């Protein structure tokens, strides 16, 4: 194996193993910033040794042990030869001298607990939402600062500052590196789910830039969601979010045309939908419902996505059921965005005028003042009602609000179709 081949293999291993390494070391040193630095030191050692000596049989264990040893060195340099030092030394020695077949199971359990702790600490409420996103992708996704910056179209120094600031904030707050319990657990778990959801949504429908979708972000969010579902098997909302992401991911290929242009749901080639992802999503949804989570935020959204996934053609879509699900979701969230989506479902179930009436009632909501999907939906209803000149104006207004280039082109194209149709009728 050449050095370049070895480095590529090490990078792939690091992407998979780094969250476990950081999580394990963070439990010991109680500081995610120090833990990541120690894990990076272990990576440097691997890049130096593995090309010469070969990749070890258990690369993750090698990296974790190397990082732990560096933790001891750090404590020694700081002259903190206290009980923590002794605990670390004992753990390393015990790991070498008392391995049994059952010890691997115990180690796996410890790693799972550590990963869950790391998820909670990366999404800690003392951090700003944008810092939670960056830190989660850095620590748990294994993404570089450059990759995170590119994914969110933010300058690399900005992302670097967010990550550094987040680590300092956690250290200053002396944030507990523990899995929360009781009422706090539900609140903190909600924050973790929100971060994963935001990452997925930015990949599924990019808010800015030249690309309509960013599949790598969707994939990363789905990977984190699957890990979280394994770590918290009794949490219905976790399975609900995974179900939602599995089903939505099944449509990624169909959402783009040959030139990368957006393709709306009703115009998609459903033969391109990934049936395996759909089945995985439906299975996760059934698991969530069996756990009693039928009224949860993510379970309801997954149920809506499932209605679309089960319809082999647009005409088979159960819009009445989708409308009812949106009604429940709207009552739960009181979100004007949910109400807007409900209006779209109502328009499909009961006609465009019914949808337009609901949208017009939302027009004065300040939360939707700069939201491009409000005029976009209104334009769609007006076009279906034959009020083409009004529809053209709404599509143009939506195009002026969106920051996504592909979406702007689509909206202007719809406005142009209205102009052509008006010309034909004249």
Share of residues in the chain with pLDDT > 90 (%): 57
Q: Is the pLDDT of residue 140 over 90?
A: no
Q: Are 273 and 254 in contact (CB under 8 A)?
A: yes
CA distance 68 to 206: 39
Q: Is the pLDDT of residue 151 over 60?
A: yes
* First and final C-alpha spacing in the chain: 72
Q: Is the pLDDT of residue 91 over 70?
A: no
Confidence of residue 78 (pLDDT cuts 50, 70, 90): low
CA distance 344 to 386: 17
Q: Quick one: pLDDT at residue 239?
A: 97
Q: What is the largest CA-CA distance in the chain?
A: 89
Q: Quick one: pLDDT at residue 71?
A: 84
Confidence of residue 424 (pLDDT cuts 50, 70, 90): confident
Over residues 294-322, mean pLDDT: 96
Query: What are the pLDDT digits (tens) for 325-383?
Result: 999 999 998 899 999 999 999 999 999 999 999 999 999 999 899 999 999 999 999 99
Confidence of residue 211 (pLDDT cuts 50, 70, 90): confident
Angle at CA of residue 214, ends 209 and 216, nearest 5°: 140
Closest CA to 237 of 185, 277, 292: 292
The answer to which of 161-165, 255-259, 300-304, 318-322 has the lowest mean pLDDT is 255-259
Q: Quick one: pLDDT at residue 83?
A: 56
pLDDT: which is higher, 116 or 254: 254
Q: Is the pLDDT of residue 410 over 90?
A: yes
Q: Quick one: pLDDT at residue 156?
A: 92
CA distance 9 to 244: 32
Mean pLDDT, the chain, rounded, equals 88
Closest CA to 330 of 310, 344, 351, 349: 344
Q: Quick one: pLDDT at residue 321?
A: 97
CA dist 418 → 58, 332, 407, 409 (Å)? 62, 37, 17, 14
Over residues 269-286, mean pLDDT: 97
Over residues 286-307, mean pLDDT: 95
CA distance 163 to 319: 43
Query: What are the pLDDT digits (tens) for 367-395?
Result: 899 999 999 999 999 999 999 999 999 99
Share of residues in the chain with pLDDT > 70 (%): 90
CA distance 273 to 92: 49
Closest CA to 297 of 346, 337, 266: 337
Confidence of residue 109 (pLDDT cuts 50, 70, 90): very low
Over residues 305-309, mean pLDDT: 97
Query: What are the pLDDT digits (tens) for 3-48?
Result: 778 888 888 888 888 888 999 888 888 889 999 999 999 999 999 9
Task: Record the tokens describing residue 425, joined without a space.
Answer: 């009728």
Q: Are 323 and 341 in contact (CB under 8 A)?
A: no
Confidence of residue 187 (pLDDT cuts 50, 70, 90): confident
């Amino acid at each position: 194996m050449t050095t370049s081949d070895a480095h590529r293999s090490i990078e792939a291993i690091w992407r998979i193993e780094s969250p476990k390494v950081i999580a394990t070391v963070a439990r010991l040193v109680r500081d995610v910033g120090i833990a990541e630095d120690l894990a990076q030191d272990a990576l440097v050692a691997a890049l130096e040794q593995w090309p010469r000596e070969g990749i070890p049989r258990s690369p993750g264990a090698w990296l974790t042990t190397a990082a732990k040893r560096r933790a001891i060195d750090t404590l020694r340099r700081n002259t903190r030869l206290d009980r923590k030092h002794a605990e670390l030394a004992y753990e390393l020695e015990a790991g070498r001298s008392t391995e049994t077949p059952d010890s691997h199971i115990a180690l796996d359990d410890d790693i799972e607990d550590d990963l869950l702790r790391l998820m909670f600490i990366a999404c800690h409420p003392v951090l700003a939402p944008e810092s939670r996103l960056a830190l989660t992708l850095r620590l748990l996704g294994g993404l570089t600062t450059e990759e995170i910056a590119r994914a969110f179209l933010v300058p690399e120094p900005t992302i670097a500052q967010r990550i550094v600031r987040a680590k300092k904030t956690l250290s200053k707050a002396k944030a507990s590196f523990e899995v929360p319990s009781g009422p706090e657990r539900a609140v903190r778990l909600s924050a973790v789910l929100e971060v994963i959801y935001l990452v997925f949504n930015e990949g599924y429908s990019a808010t800015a830039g030249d690309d309509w979708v960013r599949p790598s972000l969707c994939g990363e969010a789905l990977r984190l969601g699957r890990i979280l579902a394994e770590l918290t098997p009794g949490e219905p909302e976790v399975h609900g979010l995974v179900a939602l992401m599995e089903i939505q991911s099944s449509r990624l290929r169909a959402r783009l045309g040959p030139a990368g242009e957006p393709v709306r749901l009703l115009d998609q080639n459903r033969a391109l939908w990934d049936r395996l992802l759909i089945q995985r999503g439906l299975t996760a949804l059934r698991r969530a419902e069996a756990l009693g989570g039928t009224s949860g935020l993510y379970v309801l959204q997954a149920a809506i996505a499932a209605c679309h996934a089960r319809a082999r053609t647009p005409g088979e879509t159960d819009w009445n059921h989708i409308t009812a699900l949106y009604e429940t979701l709207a009552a739960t969230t009181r979100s004007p965005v949910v109400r807007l989506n409900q209006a779209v479902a109502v328009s499909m179930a009961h006609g465009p005028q019914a949808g337009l009436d609901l949208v017009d009632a939302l027009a004065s909501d300040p939360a939707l003042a700069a939201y491009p999907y409000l005029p976009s939906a209104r334009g769609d209803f007006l076009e279906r009602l034959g009020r083409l000149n009004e529809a053209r104006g709404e599509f143009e207004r939506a195009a002026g609000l969106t920051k996504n280039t592909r979406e702007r082109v689509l909206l202007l194209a719809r406005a142009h179709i209205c102009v052509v149709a008006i010309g034909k009728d004249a």
